[in-house]
Chains A and B, each alone.
Chain A
Amino acid sequence: MRRLFLGVALSLLLFAGIGNAQRVNLLCSPDLAWCEALGPAFKAATGIDLEFIRLGSSEALARLRAEAANPVFDVWFGGTGDPHLAAFNEGLTEFYKPSSWDDLLPSLTKSVGETYIPLYTGALGFVINEGILAEHGVATPQCWADMTNPALKNLIAMPDPNASGTAYTAIATLVQIMGEDAAFEYLAALHQNVQQYTRSGAAPGQLAGRGDVAIAIQFMHDGVKFAEEGFPLTVVAPCEGTGFEIGGLSLVKGAPERDAAIKFIEWALTPEAQMIAATVGSYQVQSNSKTPVPAAAPDLDTIKLIDYDFAKYGDPAERDRLVSKWTNEIFPQPR
């Protein structure tokens, strides 16, 4: 038994080396490559260490909730805006007004108000594998209306609104374009063509890239990234108009390293920091108006963007209502 205790003591010593240094703990929701590039650049600019964990925006919110009483993270970087708004409304994050607030794109700051800081924006669209479409002899769809063509049966993938914020953005967009009843009729027709509803918002593009489906409904900048990596994909913005997301940046309430966190937020909004995104394949339009828009990024000026009502459709009650309506009235239909 003494050996047992010796073992316990030894294993405790093994932990001794694993301590906590002074640093910013980042909850990072965008593409992993972007998260990885932040640490070295921030260290070079300010000398402060940065450690991050990447979690999708919904998982990140769940994590912040679970840790609310004793936060581990200082800053929540990126990820779609609805969970950032929910976090703010629940008191998990606090609004910090950065010194560069007036440089940020006014359309974004106006949409979010003083809840979270806009970090980037990107529009929803179609990500298309033309080779598979040609095999089935179908023309490339340009509009939402083209997507219900019966020839596209089993060739479309989109995320599941029960699991992905991207899918909810799509449903909310359609409701805003067509009105609720027409939108649900449209979703029912689209359902006949959908091969699968994926859990992750970026998964449909990969399915299309590999040829498992021909068309993915998702954010266009993700499609551009996949195409840059070599997948045979093109990106189309729907002709009727489309919705968009605002990526958020939030200061966690009760952050253990608040001062360093604020330094990080100030740094993350500078054009220098925001230019990192495009170098690692993230082609969202960055929120600082002084950040140059990369050539490969979907040009938001030529895309018909709807006047997305973030206040109304970011409300958890409205979200729950639309998602359950979809789950009860569209999803069970046989196809």
Chain B
Amino acid sequence: MSVRSISHARTKGRGGSAAVYALAAAAAFLLLPFGRPGRPFLTIDPALRPWNLDAPWLWLLPVLALVAAAAALAPLPTLRRGNVLTFAGAGAFLVGTAWLLTTKTPFGMGALLSLCLLVVVVGYGLSLSGRVRADPFVASSILFTGLLVLLLVVYPLVTVLQAAVVVNGKFTLTKFLATLQTNRFILIENPFTPRSEGALVRYFALAGLALGLVWSLWRRQPALRVVLVTLASGLAGLVVGLMLFARGAVPSSLTLAVIAATFATLLGLGFALLGQRTRFRFVKASLGAFSVLPIITPPFILAFSMIFLLGRRGLLTFDILGISSNWIFGIPGVALAQILAFTPIAYMVIQGSVAALDAALEEASTTLGASQWHTFRTVTWPLLRPGLANAFLLTVIESFADFGNPLILGGDRNYLATEVFSAFAARFDQAEAAVYGVVLLFVVLLVFYAQARWLGRGSFVTVTGKPSRRAFTRLPGGLEAVLLVGFAVWAAVVVALYASIIYGSFVQLWGVNGTLTLKHWRDLTNAGVPVFLYTMRIAAISAVPAALLGFLIAYLVVRQEFWGRRLLEFGSMLSFATPGTVMGIAYILAFNTGPWLLTSSAVIIVLSFVFRNMPVAIRGGVAGFAQIDRSLEEASTMLGSSSFRTLRSVLVPLLIIPIVSGLIFAFVRAMTAISQVIFVVSPGNQLTTVLLLGWVEQGQTGRAAAMGTLLIVSMLVVILLLNLLTRRRGGITGEVVA
């Protein structure tokens, strides 16, 4: 008998809780109005009480809920009880949903509560009947997360993607194809240049094919592999050719993503290794602080500060180096800004896997006589690969979806994410924007797939519950020196950029008139501080569910087996992959009318933050779980814990670092996000970044700098506090495990 079925068997006696949930669902149905008349959530409108609704079939909901409650209490065989709970609960749920969908009435408190409770009832049923081979907590969690992802990620995306192919109520591909042929999208053969770009791109593709063929034949690979390698290398050649010679959004975004993700991942890895293994304590201490700096600011503020430092009249480029060049507007500038902004993301992700490395393995390698390099190459590196792949994946997606940096520094090149926005906002063309969205999604999914393939090989278990607290091997001397220099340069640039923002908030006119003044700070207290406090509140509310839900989904995806597991993972990653502007407009289209009316409220902002920032917590959790041996959970289960208790007392303490990272990340991203909220803010629900972007766009640089400073300082305080907390908890965890 496997551990899983033991855990399953233990829940058999517990029908009482299911009855409580079923009765509560019926009570919520009776006590609260099922719908609501308008936008406010907590209204009690007598006309929308169930008995005033003129829908007799809706009464099936409480009836079925009572049937479920009775079944839970009656002396039935477990299997039959499970079946009754499943079908009665699901039936009641469907009746409620069907009423909302058919009448298009916005959901009320009664509907929200009773439907949620019914999901739990179905969870009990699925678990007892053995349809989901796990306990009720896991079964209900699967249902909840699945429904949430369906409603808040998949449904809005379907709504907006429908706009790409349905014009005037008819399905058509003309719009799609027409958009792909514009030179904003991609222009290969430019009639205004003497050279033939098309031919050049073809040569690159052919060279790729030839190289792949020669290499795979030389390595004497099997025939199928020869074909695959040749094709892949031909594709790579084509892509490089496009990046070099074509114009338009596709090549720009591709080039940008490759440059930014590569550098960000390498830097992130270097800093993570440096942080764990350097001899210099000062570097260790400052690493944490420096690497979080760029993510605590909205990207466009950093980009804006770069203009003052590195532009044609920049402090560094013109006043010190004497260069008068506009290199910063275009791919080089955006790439630099993205590297600065995304390295911390890569660092945070890689740090998790670096922290979980087992020193004993490296020690064994050195004891057996391997050199430092050999140990690094054959022991450390393979263990780091999952973290690296995740970091690369995240930064590629971030780069494609990034909207703020190209907006400020993009010059006049087109980028996929800004084209989505331009098509929506400037050309009034929903369909065109949706087409760009589809392309962007497709590219990102390809990246995701490639990463999954690469990660699919090998197992990466290092945490065994037998902790090793021995010292790590030092980094090879040369590598450490390179990393230290890299970190010093990074730190210098970051310090300069931030000092420049702070300076900008205290002078009359940033970059023009250096007279000191406090006027921007006075302006800020009137115009900015209320919005800032409101944003803090919203971001804090959204960070907790984002981190917990992300962790829960990671747990379900990694540790549980159920139908739709990959779909759940895929669906939850979708919202991250989708460019923020598309998600923003998708939320407006999906939640502005009908049963799921949410627009013009704080709720929709919070939800968009939760589902936007949750995937980072998922990736962190997945990488963390991959390094924890299942035997710990199995031991806990054997000793009689439910999976909820195992999760809470065994896994959460072990994985507190990825969870807190997810929490910090979700909060900070909510404070600094711009692209997905620019459409969702409403009067009275204004957010800091949207206000800031307005100030930056309109040249109110002093105020913008003051708000930027306020954001930076407060985010810094938050992160330091949470870091302190984690460190203390981390110590306790070590003891508990020992």
Determine the chain A residues whose CB is within 8 A of the CB of B585 once the complex forms: 62, 66
Asked if B698 and A31 make an inter-chain contact with CB atoms under 8 angstroms apart, the answer reads yes
- Cα distance A31–B527 when bound, in Å? 14
Stretch at the interface among A17-25, A176-184, A286-294: A17-25
- Cα distance A23–B412 when bound, in Å? 41
Question: Contacts A229-B509, A231-B512 hold; do A67 and B592 have CB atoms under 8 A apart?
Answer: yes
- Cα distance A323–B593 when bound, in Å? 34
Asked if A51 and B683 make an inter-chain contact with CB atoms under 8 angstroms apart, the answer reads yes
Question: Contacts A66-B592, A73-B683 hold; do A332 and B424 have CB atoms under 8 A apart?
Answer: no
Determine the chain A residues whose CB is within 8 A of the CB of B418 once the complex forms: 199
Which residues 42-84 in A have Cβ within 8 Å of B in the complex?
51-54, 56, 58-59, 61-63, 65-67, 69-70, 72-73, 83
- Cα distance A69–B39 when bound, in Å? 13
B411 touches which one: A59, A196, A205 (CB < 8 A)? Answer: A196
Encode B31-71 as 1/0 by CB contact (under 8 A) with A: 00000000111100000000000000000000000000000
Smallest CB gap from B642: residue in A: A1
- Cα distance A328–B191 when bound, in Å? 10
Determine the chain B residues whose CB is within 8 A of the CB of A26 once the complex forms: 683
Which residues 170-209 in B have Cβ within 8 Å of A in the complex?
182-184, 187, 190-193
Smallest CB gap from A210: residue in B: B511
Smallest CB gap from A225: residue in B: B699
- Cα distance A211–B314 when bound, in Å? 9
Asked if A196 and B412 make an inter-chain contact with CB atoms under 8 angstroms apart, the answer reads yes
- Is the C-beta of A16 less than 8 angstroms from some C-beta in chain B? yes
Which residues 198-225 in B have Cβ within 8 Å of A in the complex?
none
Smallest CB gap from A135: residue in B: B324
- Cα distance A59–B247 when bound, in Å? 26
Question: Contacts A20-B40, A230-B512 hold; do A197 and B599 have CB atoms under 8 A apart?
Answer: no
Determine the chain B residues whose CB is within 8 A of the CB of A277 once the complex forms: none
Asked if A72 and B600 make an inter-chain contact with CB atoms under 8 angstroms apart, the answer reads yes
Q: How far is the CB of A26 from chain B (nearest CB, A)?
A: 7
Determine the chain A residues whose CB is within 8 A of the CB of B562 once the complex forms: none
Asked if A212 and B307 make an inter-chain contact with CB atoms under 8 angstroms apart, the answer reads yes
Question: Contacts A33-B700, A328-B183 hold; do A212 and B40 have CB atoms under 8 A apart?
Answer: no
Stretch at the interface among A99-107, A108-116, A159-167, A299-307: A159-167
Which residues 667-702 in B have Cβ within 8 Å of A in the complex?
678-679, 681-686, 690-691, 694-695, 697-700
- Cα distance A66–B698 when bound, in Å? 25
Smallest CB gap from A61: residue in B: B428
Asked if A332 and B192 make an inter-chain contact with CB atoms under 8 angstroms apart, the answer reads yes
Determine the chain A residues whose CB is within 8 A of the CB of B545 once the complex forms: 11
Asked if B190 and A16 make an inter-chain contact with CB atoms under 8 angstroms apart, the answer reads no
- Is the C-beta of B644 less than 8 angstroms from some C-beta in chain A? yes
A202 touches which one: B40, B426, B698 (CB < 8 A)? Answer: B698
- Is the C-beta of A195 less than 8 angstroms from some C-beta in chain B? yes
Asked if B426 and A66 make an inter-chain contact with CB atoms under 8 angstroms apart, the answer reads no
Asked if B190 and A162 make an inter-chain contact with CB atoms under 8 angstroms apart, the answer reads no
Asked if B699 and A199 make an inter-chain contact with CB atoms under 8 angstroms apart, the answer reads no
Determine the chain A residues whose CB is within 8 A of the CB of B593 once the complex forms: 69-70
Asked if B190 and A210 make an inter-chain contact with CB atoms under 8 angstroms apart, the answer reads no
B424 touches which one: A12, A62, A213 (CB < 8 A)? Answer: A62
- Is the C-beta of A14 less than 8 angstroms from some C-beta in chain B? yes
A205 touches which one: B247, B597, B699 (CB < 8 A)? Answer: B699
Determine the chain A residues whose CB is within 8 A of the CB of B426 once the complex forms: 58-59, 162-165, 199
A332 touches which one: B247, B601, B678, B690 (CB < 8 A)? Answer: B247
- Is the C-beta of B312 less than 8 angstroms from some C-beta in chain A? yes
- Cα distance A324–B432 when bound, in Å? 14
Determine the chain B residues whose CB is within 8 A of the CB of A70 once the complex forms: 592-593, 597, 599
- Cα distance A52–B685 when bound, in Å? 10
Determine the chain B residues whose CB is within 8 A of the CB of A205 once the complex forms: 699
- Is the C-beta of B430 less than 8 angstroms from some C-beta in chain A? yes
- Cα distance A67–B681 when bound, in Å? 13
- Cα distance A231–B412 when bound, in Å? 24
Determine the chain B residues whose CB is within 8 A of the CB of A225 once the complex forms: 699
Smallest CB gap from B679: residue in A: A63
Encode A168-209 as 1/0 by CB contact (under 8 A) with B: 000000000000000000000000001111111011011001
Asked if B527 and A36 make an inter-chain contact with CB atoms under 8 angstroms apart, the answer reads yes
B698 touches which one: A12, A23, A32, A231 (CB < 8 A)? Answer: A32
- Cα distance A182–B183 when bound, in Å? 23
- Cα distance A332–B690 when bound, in Å? 32
- Cα distance A300–B313 when bound, in Å? 33
Determine the chain A residues whose CB is within 8 A of the CB of B90 once the complex forms: none
Q: How far is the CB of A240 from chain B (nearest CB, A)?
A: 25
Which residues 133-160 in A have Cβ within 8 Å of B in the complex?
154, 160
Asked if A327 and B588 make an inter-chain contact with CB atoms under 8 angstroms apart, the answer reads no
- Is the C-beta of B427 less than 8 angstroms from some C-beta in chain A? yes
Determine the chain A residues whose CB is within 8 A of the CB of B511 once the complex forms: 210
Which residues 130-144 in B have Cβ within 8 Å of A in the complex?
137, 140
- Is the C-beta of A226 less than 8 angstroms from some C-beta in chain B? yes
- Is the C-beta of B87 less than 8 angstroms from some C-beta in chain A? no
Asked if A199 and B681 make an inter-chain contact with CB atoms under 8 angstroms apart, the answer reads no
Question: Contacts A19-B40, A54-B694, A212-B313 hold; do A65 and B329 have CB atoms under 8 A apart?
Answer: no
- Cα distance A282–B440 when bound, in Å? 39
Asked if A210 and B313 make an inter-chain contact with CB atoms under 8 angstroms apart, the answer reads yes
- Cα distance A196–B721 when bound, in Å? 43
B184 touches which one: A54, A67, A162 (CB < 8 A)? Answer: A162
Smallest CB gap from A168: residue in B: B426
Smallest CB gap from B515: residue in A: A230
- Cα distance A171–B208 when bound, in Å? 44
A203 touches which one: B513, B683, B697, B700 (CB < 8 A)? Answer: B697
Question: Contacts A212-B311, A226-B699 hold; do A199 and B428 have CB atoms under 8 A apart?
Answer: no
Asked if A18 and B601 make an inter-chain contact with CB atoms under 8 angstroms apart, the answer reads yes
Question: Contacts A53-B682, A331-B183 hold; do A199 and B509 have CB atoms under 8 A apart?
Answer: no
Which residues 269-308 in B have Cβ within 8 Å of A in the complex?
307-308
- Cα distance A332–B412 when bound, in Å? 11
- Cα distance A323–B428 when bound, in Å? 13
Determine the chain B residues whose CB is within 8 A of the CB of A154 once the complex forms: 326
Smallest CB gap from B17: residue in A: A1
A62 touches which one: B425, B544, B683 (CB < 8 A)? Answer: B425
- Is the C-beta of B407 less than 8 angstroms from some C-beta in chain A? yes
Asked if B509 and A231 make an inter-chain contact with CB atoms under 8 angstroms apart, the answer reads yes
Asked if B541 and A332 make an inter-chain contact with CB atoms under 8 angstroms apart, the answer reads no
Asked if B683 and A25 make an inter-chain contact with CB atoms under 8 angstroms apart, the answer reads yes
Contact surface of B with A, Cβ cutoff 8 Å: 39-42, 116, 120, 137, 140, 182-184, 187, 190-193, 247, 307-308, 311-313, 326, 329, 407, 410-412, 418, 422, 424-428, 430, 508-509, 511-513, 527, 541, 544-545, 585, 588-589, 592-593, 597, 599-603, 644, 678-679, 681-686, 690-691, 694-695, 697-700
Closest 6 CB pairs of A and B: A51-B683, A211-B313, A197-B412, A59-B425, A230-B509, A25-B683
15 contacts between A and B (CB under 8 A): A25-B682, A53-B681, A58-B427, A62-B424, A62-B430, A62-B679, A63-B588, A69-B592, A163-B422, A196-B412, A212-B312, A230-B513, A324-B182, A331-B412, A332-B247
Contact surface of A with B, Cβ cutoff 8 Å: 1, 7-8, 11-12, 14-16, 18-20, 23, 25-26, 31-33, 36, 51-54, 56, 58-59, 61-63, 65-67, 69-70, 72-73, 83, 86, 154, 160, 162-165, 194-200, 202-203, 205-206, 209-213, 225-226, 229-232, 316, 323-324, 327-328, 331-334
| Further contacts, 18 of them, CB under 8 A, given A20-B684, A32-B691, A165-B426 | A18-B602, A33-B698, A33-B700, A36-B527, A53-B681, A59-B424, A61-B428, A67-B599, A164-B426, A202-B698, A203-B697, A209-B699, A210-B311, A210-B313, A210-B512, A331-B412, A332-B247, A333-B192
